[in-house]
């Protein structure tokens, strides 16, 4: 059975790493990895962390690229690989330009598509933009829908996708996170090196960890986020740390408005182990990221979501995430309230984790195997699923 995994951005690579590890260790599966290179350094960092060496690299990234450019380059580049290698399945993840363009390219070649992280919906195609439209389009061309939660499954059923093509798996990002958080928290050499690298963290302050990059917030939204962070940094006992995404539409306003603020530490995007470590040290996380909304609850960190909508409503319903939009007063008021009210903080740090149990990749690979005519001969290696991250030499060399 020939399976081509296609991804190109940081979050796709993190969430596909455990799937790729399982595929590569499963007898009877020929696994091939195509990186579109939609991201460059942010992707290469993840590939290096998980020791993934793509068989193909479409190298599509350009500075300040347009959505159409990425889409067109991914489709053209992938088409050649599909024609030559003729996979049985193409696996795509999430809702990026890469995943939808790859899904479409596969569909045009009549290759079956497996959609990892299917069924996330806000109901508003402009928020997040363009991701809500991307994941809906991918669903139309997908043959197997790997829904992380039962809510995602229900959304797909409601849209008319057949029940026997939808599988609730959990999110593969939780597979990666559980392993990585164990590695970075275990006492020992790795932990000691991370403690040293982040020795500048003020142990007497509450660390507010920030990420932000959504396109629908470019312009006014980001100016408002900067205002909120500036105000938070003026409060005693708070340290704001912000690894700034490489998109120039984010870096421009963030460095212009916060670059000189002594209370805010603007840093480069972090390698995944470092970011996971920083999440474990945070008192609270302010983000518009999809993946971070899923990860923070697992680490018992309250997460305030700087967006007007979320497709991760499970975390909001569980009380471990809250939508705060981009209005500076609302953001500051919510942070302050959590720091002033121990019981509100404890509720949001309850540890409820609605997005998975760490075995999503095993379920996905098992399902793919079941689609094969030679299914009985192929069995996913569950041990690999549990140990893939720990075995990575790069992670052992961390720091």
- Residue 5 binds ligand UD1 (CB under 6 A): no
- Residue 63 binds ligand UD1 (CB under 6 A): yes
- Residues 236-265 vs ligand UDP: string with x where CB under 6 A? -------x----------------------
- Contacts to ligand UD1 from residues 82-111, by CB under 6 A: 95-97
- Residue 131 binds ligand UD1 (CB under 6 A): yes
Q: H-type helices in 32-149, by residue range?
A: 41-49, 67-85, 97-108, 131-141
Q: Are 264 and 238 in contact (CB under 8 A)?
A: no
| Residue 196 annotated among the catalytic residues of the structure | no
- Residue 260 binds ligand UD1 (CB under 6 A): no
Q: How far is the CB of 349 from ligand UD1 (least distance, A)?
A: 25
Query: At residue 72, what are phi and psi to the nearest 5 degrees?
Result: -65, -45
- Residues 210-229 vs ligand UDP: string with x where CB under 6 A? -x-x----------------
- Contacts to ligand UDP from residues 271-300, by CB under 6 A: 272, 275, 289-292, 295
Give the up-direction half-sphere exposure of residue 335: CA atoms within 13 A in the CB hemisphere: 31
Query: Taking contact as CB under 6 A, which single stretch among the options 62-70, 177-185, 256-264, 312-320 is the one that binds ligand UD1?
Result: 62-70
Query: At residue 132, what are phi and psi to the nearest 5 degrees?
Result: -60, -40
| Residue 257 annotated among the catalytic residues of the structure | no
Query: Taking contact as CB under 6 A, which single stretch among the options 109-117, 163-171, 242-250, 313-321 is the one that binds ligand UD1?
Result: 242-250
Tokens (6 digits) for 230: 């500036």
DSSP string, 198-265: TTTS-TTSEEEEEE---GGGTTHHHHHHHHHHHHHHHSTTEEEEEE--S-HHHHHHHHHHHTT-TTEE
Sole residue written with tokens 């000691």 = 192
Helix (H) or strand (E) holding 30, with range, is strand 30-35
331-359 CB burial, b ≥16 within 10 A, e <16: bbebbeebbeeeebeeebbeebbbbbebb
Select the binding partner of residue 292 from ligand UDP, ligand UD1, none (C-beta < 5 to 8 A, by kind): ligand UDP
**Of 3, 14, 331, 338, which one interacts with ligand UDP (CB under 6 A)?**
14
| Residue 39 annotated among the catalytic residues of the structure | no
Q: Are 105 and 71 in contact (CB under 8 A)?
A: no
Choosing from 131, 271, 294, 314, which is the catalytic residue? 131
Kindly tell me the sign of the dihedral angle through the C-alpha atoms of 138, 131, 154, 320. Answer: positive
Query: Which residues form the catalytic set?
Result: 95, 117, 131, 213, 215, 245
What residues line the site for ligand UD1 (CB under 6 A)? 9-11, 38-43, 61-65, 67, 70, 95-97, 130-131, 213, 246-248
List residues near ligand UDP by CB under 6 A.
Answer: 10-11, 14, 173, 211, 213, 243, 269-270, 272, 275, 289-292, 295
């Amino acid at each position: 059975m020939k399976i081509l995994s296609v991804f190109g951005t940081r979050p796709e690579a993190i969430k596909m790493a455990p799937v790729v590890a399982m595929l590569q260790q499963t007898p009877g599966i020929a696994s091939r990895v195509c990186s579109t290179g939609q991201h460059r350094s942010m992707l290469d960092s993840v590939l290096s962390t998980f020791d993934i060496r793509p068989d193909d690299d479409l190298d599509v990234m350009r500075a300040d690229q347009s959505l159409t450019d990425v889409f067109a380059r991914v489709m053209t580049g992938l088409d050649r690989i599909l024609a030559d290698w003729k996979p049985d399945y193409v696996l795509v993840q999430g809702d990026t330009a890469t995943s939808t363009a790859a899904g479409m390219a596969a569909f045009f070649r009549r290759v079956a598509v497996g959609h990892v992280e299917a069924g996330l919906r806000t109901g508003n195609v402009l928020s997040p933009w363009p991701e809500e439209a991307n994941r809906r389009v991918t669903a139309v061309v997908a043959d197997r829908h790997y829904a992380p939660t039962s809510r995602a499954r229900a959304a797909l059923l409601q849209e008319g996708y057949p029940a026997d093509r939808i599988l609730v798996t959990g999110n593969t990002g939780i597979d990666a996170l559980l392993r990585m958080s164990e590695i970075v928290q275990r006492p020992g050499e790795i932990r000691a090196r991370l403690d040293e690298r982040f020795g500048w963290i003020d142990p007497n302050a509450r660390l507010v960890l920030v990420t932000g990059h959504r396109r629908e917030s470019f312009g006014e939204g980001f100016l408002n986020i900067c205002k909120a962070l500036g105000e938070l940094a003026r409060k005693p006992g708070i340290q704001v740390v912000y690894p700034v995404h490489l998109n120039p539409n984010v870096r421009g306003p963030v460095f212009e408005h916060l670059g000189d603020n002594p209370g805010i530490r603007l840093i480069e995007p972090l390698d995944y182990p470092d970011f996971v470590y920083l999440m474990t040290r945070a008192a609270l996380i302010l983000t518009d990221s999809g993946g971070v909304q899923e990860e923070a609850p697992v680490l018992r960190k309250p997460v305030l979501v700087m967006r007007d909508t979320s497709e991760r409503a499970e975390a909001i319903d569980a009380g471990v995430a809250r939508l705060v939009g981009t209005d500076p007063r609302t953001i500051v008021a919510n942070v302050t309230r959590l720091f002033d009210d121990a019981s509100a903080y404890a509720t949001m740090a309850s540890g409820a984790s609605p997005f998975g149990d760490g075995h999503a990749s095993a379920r996905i690979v098992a399902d793919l195997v079941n689609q094969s005519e030679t299914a009985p001969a192929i069995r996913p290696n569950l041990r690999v699923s549990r140990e893939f991250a720990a075995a990575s030499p790069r992670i052992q060399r961390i720091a």
